[in-house]
Amino acid sequence: MKKVVVVGGGISGLTVAYALLGRGDLEISVLESDSRPGGKIWSDRTEGFLCEKGTNGFLDNKPGTLELCKSLSLEPVRSNENARKRFIYSNKRLNEMSGSP
């Protein structure tokens, strides 16, 4: 059995490791320098609020992305119109940003 080491436990590294698992003939290890997997994608609770600290979506027009969701039994959730609003927490309050990034 061949050994494969995936360097990085972000979304790309975890996706590669998951895809390689399907082969069945590899011993796979994922190395991550942080204390948790996920890379730039994670959620955090701050003062009782759930804060998303990374990517907030993906392109659902790419078949590979939807196939990955299906194989993981994940159901994509479409955002509502309010999700377009962006805020910055500064001076102990939320400040709405205008326009697009």
pLDDT of residue 18: 95
Domain ranges of the chain: 2-89
Does this model's pTM top 0.95? My answer is no
- CATH fold label, 2-89: FAD/NAD(P)-binding domain (3.50.50)
Q: At what angle do helices 63-71 and 11-21 cross, to 10 degrees?
A: 70
- Kindly report the number of other CB atoms within 10 A of residue 2's CB atom: 8
Q: Tell me the per-residue pLDDT of 40-99, one tens digit each, with 9 for 90 and over.
A: 888 888 888 888 787 666 767 778 888 888 999 988 877 777 777 778 888 999 888 876
